[in-house]
Amino acid sequence: MPVPLLDLRAQHARIKDEVVRALLQVVDDQLFILGAPVEQLERAVAELSHTRFAIGCASGTDALLLALRVLNIGRGDEVITTPFTFFATAGTIHNVGATPVFADIDPATFNLSTAHARAAATPQTRAVVPVDLFGQMAPLEELAAALPHLPLIEDAAQSIGARRRLDGEWMMAGERATIGTFSFFPSKNLGGYGDGGMVVTQDERLATRLRKLRVHGGATQYFHEEVGYNSRLDALQAAVLLAKLPYLAEWSARRREHAAYYDQAFADLADVRTPTIDARNESIYNQYTLRAERRDALQEHLKGRGIGSAIYYPLPLHRQPCFAYLGYREGTCPEAERAAREVLSLPVYPELTRAQQDETIAAVRSFYGR
């Protein structure tokens, strides 16, 4: 039986009626730009992330771009981030004219290391962009304590609904940062039927300006206080996401169950290191990412048995050709480079059946002769 890395059709089959009804409502209303579904989703995401304001936009990439712009980050500024993330985290820093400064990761969690971030700060640093990678939150409170003068843009594209327990209280992804950003790319735990994104903040002044920046920089049509973007969350996408949102907690819980099952099944394999979740974190497991000996051969072996897997990410951002101008040599972020050689993500989507998971486990074990 083939086991895909992700099976969105299985999810759609379960919720099809609700999603189609929601889409038809938008079509009947003929109100496609912003409007009620977008506002309703913004309120729901603000509530989920314990934030005062949420602003829908066109993608997770644009959410980062808007966050950088609203903090007035541009030419001559440095922004510290992780090299072990999806490209958009650093691409947006470059695209506002600033310089991405890559600090190495914590090898346990794959998230930005606080010590390395602190060491990378200079008088030109204007912000830090930690990423909540694979579904677990970065150490926001540690970064805030280590670099108290810098705003934090939390790239929570992969981690909507993830949380971290601090002093007996749950802190949600997006809650503690100056600005948090989400992506509704279809493969995310809360995925649309196309692109979508959202920005969250506790700061009313930032929220007001973010709302303007997403509609060309003006509060009143045809009058522009500044130059912004056309970056709205599509009403059709908002309708899909609203229909899916009530399932998010259950889907993420299913992913955690699958992760626990894998953890147990691989516990005796010396060649495999299962993911480390910080004891303070509850991950939403957007990915279940192992470190594996002979990773590339393992992936080939799985492919031969019809089992999907993926390498997130094969080349860290400080080593990407487009960032050669920054002058990072091999060895400058050794943990990110090692992770890029060792990681492999296995199917962990909510609809994965026990039989499919057992098949995946058997295939991994057989590769190591177990």
Ligand X SMILES: Cc1ncc(COP(=O)(O)O)c(C=O)c1O
**Interface contacts to ligand X, rule CB under 6 A:** 59-61, 85-86, 88-89, 131, 155, 157-158, 183, 185, 195, 197
What's the closest the beta carbon of residue 60 comes to ligand X, in angstroms?
2
Radius of gyration of the chain (CA): 21
Residue nearest to ligand X (CB): 60
Strand partners, 291: 273, 343
Q: Name which of 91 and 218 has its Cβ closer to ligand X.
A: 91
Q: Name which of 70 and 364 has its Cβ closer to ligand X.
A: 70
Chain centroid to Cα 168, Å, comes to: 25
Asked if residues 307 and 360 have their Cβ atoms less than 8 Å apart, the reply is: yes
Phi, psi angle pair for 81, to nearest 5°: -150, 180
What's the closest the beta carbon of residue 86 comes to ligand X, in angstroms?
4
Q: Name which of 288 and 367 has its Cβ closer to ligand X.
A: 288
Asked if residues 89 and 81 have their Cβ atoms less than 8 Å apart, the reply is: yes
What's the closest the beta carbon of residue 241 comes to ligand X, in angstroms?
12
What's the closest the beta carbon of residue 321 comes to ligand X, in angstroms?
20
What's the closest the beta carbon of residue 59 comes to ligand X, in angstroms?
3
What's the closest the beta carbon of residue 173 comes to ligand X, in angstroms?
12
Residue 290 CB-half CA count within 13 A: 30
Residues 6+ apart with CB under 8 A from 367: 297, 298, 301, 302
Q: Dihedral sign, CA of 223, 226, 227, 231? A: negative
Residues 182 and 200: their CA atoms lie apart, in Å, by: 8
**Coil vs helix vs strand at 361:** helix
